């Protein structure tokens, strides 16, 4: 009988699956999607490749589960960071700052690696659903501000965050870029020229 590292078999399986997902996310972020295999994830956790199939039915199932885990983890961080009684405008700015901080951390490389993949239609729909769920607090805050086209504005803010994060990855100072991002969202450099 295999060694159980928890009070019950069910808890053991939950803990083992969580470990596999965490290691899968680390491998995806550090080594890219091609290296996200049942063998690699099993080795990282210390179990045989065949044992990984007790938790994931295929390599594709493992990939989908790791991507879900990555988005769900990020979404939890966003919701925790945005909890509280902030005014809608403060929530918009705070969302952008949290998104920037997230986009410049090492785990975000997992998301970047997805851009170059050939995904199935189902995988693409799944990732789109995750993106919409992550943007929901921003859309809600913009809606509360009674701006026109809140979803479009949320997409534009997301574009600003992505551009700012890219500049940091290319070597610009994160503190400077973060400050300019805040300025771009709150007022922008052309504010004096706006009638």
pLDDT tens profile 96-145: 998 998 888 766 666 776 766 777 888 888 888 988 888 888 999 999 99
Give first-to-last CA distance, the chain, whole Å: 76
Q: pLDDT confidence of 3, banded at 50, 70, 90?
A: low
* Domains delineated in the chain: 9-186 (1.10.357.10)
Higher pLDDT, 143 or 85: 143
Contact 180, 164 (CB under 8 A): yes
Instruction: Read off the pTM.
Output: 0.74
Question: What pLDDT digit, counting tens, does each position of 75-84 carry?
Answer: 888 777 777 7
pLDDT score of 55: 95
Tell me, what's the pLDDT at 1?
A: 38
Helix orientation angle between 88-103 and 59-82, rounded to the nearest 10 degrees: 140
pLDDT, one tens digit per residue, over 150-194 is 999 999 999 999 999 999 989 999 999 999 999 998 886 665 554
Q: What is the mean pLDDT of residues 73-92?
A: 82
Is the pLDDT at 17 greater than 60? The verdict is yes
Q: What's the pLDDT score for residue 134? A: 86
Residue 102 is predicted with a pLDDT of 85
**Average pLDDT of span 23-37:** 87
Which residue would you say has higher pLDDT here, 59 or 105?
Answer: 59
């Amino acid at each position: 009988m295999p060694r159980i590292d928890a009070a019950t078999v069910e808890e053991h399986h939950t803990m083992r699956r969580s470990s596999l997902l965490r290691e899968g996310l680390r491998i995806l972020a550090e080594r890219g999607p091609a290296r996200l295999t049942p063998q690699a994830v099993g080795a990282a956790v210390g179990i045989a490749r065949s044992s990984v199939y007790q938790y994931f039915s295929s390599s594709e199932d493992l990939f989908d589960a790791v991507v879900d885990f990555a988005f769900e983890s990020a979404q939890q961080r966003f919701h925790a960071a945005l909890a509280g009684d902030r005014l809608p405008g403060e929530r918009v700015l705070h969302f952008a700052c949290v998104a920037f901080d997230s986009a410049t951390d090492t785990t975000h490389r997992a998301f970047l690696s997805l851009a170059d993949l050939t995904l199935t239609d189902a995988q693409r729909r799944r990732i789109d659903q995750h993106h919409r769920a992550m943007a929901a607090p921003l859309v809600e805050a913009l809606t509360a501000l009674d701006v026109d086209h809140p979803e479009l504005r949320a997409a534009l803010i997301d574009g600003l965050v992505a551009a700012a994060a890219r500049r940091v990855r290319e070597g610009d100072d994160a503190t400077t870029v973060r400050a300019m991002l805040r300025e771009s969202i709150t007022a922008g450099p052309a504010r004096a020229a706006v009638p």
